[in-house]
Amino acid sequence: DRRRDSPAAGSPIQPIIKDVGEVYSRLLDHRPVIQGEIRYFVKEFEEKRGLRELRVLENLKNTILEAKERVLPKCEQAMQGNLSETFKRLQAANAMIHRLQERAYEARKLQADKVMAREEKCIAHCEEFMKEQQNKRAEIDEEHRKAMEHLKEQYSEMEKELAKYVSF
């Protein structure tokens, strides 16, 4: 039985242990205080706020339903009207851009054709010039050949003449 009894039972330490237990429960055990504060907060919250959140949610629900039933169809209708007009404008702009691109393409093609014509004309002119130069060269070569023959004949005659005088 003595083992079951606390070692301090009936001893002068007993009141000290009891006092320490009370000091511990007052200073360090906050559960009763926190539970009391929680109960007070919940009671105040329920009394002061009441059904205000429910009313706010109901108002929000009504606003959403009104937007769904009235505002959204009006917005869709306005959007459809504006979209069709915008689509027509886009088609017109697209057609204009297409025409501008065609004009630009035709202008570039015309410019390229002009450049090609100038190139062909230049090439033809160059070929004509080269033929003319060939003909002039041939004429000059012929004149040179004739002049060379004439000079050869002249020098050969001069040599013959000189050969007559050298025999003296």
**Using one digit for the tens of pLDDT, what is the confidence trace for 47-73?**
766 667 777 778 888 998 888 888 888
| Joined tokens for residue 26 | 């007052």
Q: Give, as one character, the DSSP assignment of residue 84.
A: H
Residue 10 placed within a domain: no
The CB-side HSE value for 53 (13 A sphere, CA atoms) comes to 6
8 inside domain: no
Indicate the pTM of the whole model: 0.38
Does any domain span residue 11? no
Q: What is the pLDDT of residue 167?
A: 62
CA–CA distance, 99 with 107 (Å, rounded to integer): 12
Position 23 in a domain = no
- CB-based contact 7:16 (threshold 8 Å): no
In a domain, 62, yes or no: yes
> Which residues touch 17 (CB under 8 Å, ≥6 apart)?
8
In the predicted model, what is the mean pLDDT of residues 130-142? 95
Q: What share of the chain is helix, strand, coil (3-state, %, to 5)?
A: 90, 0, 10
For residues 35 and 29, the answer to whether their CB atoms sit within 8 Å is no
Give the mean pLDDT of 32-56.
76
- Inside any domain, residue 70: yes
| DSSP letter assigned to residue 5 | S
Determine, yes or no, domain membership for 63: yes
| pLDDT surpasses 70 at 8 | no
| Residue 34 lies inside a defined structural domain of this protein | no
Nearest to 66 by CA among 56, 74, 76: 74
Res 168: pLDDT = 54
Residue 98 structural domain: 50-166
Sign of CA dihedral 119, 122, 128, 130: negative
- Is residue 28 a contact partner of residue 20, using CB atoms and an 8 Å limit? no
Domain count, the chain: 1
Going 45 to 51 to 54 to 59, the CA torsion angle's sign is: negative
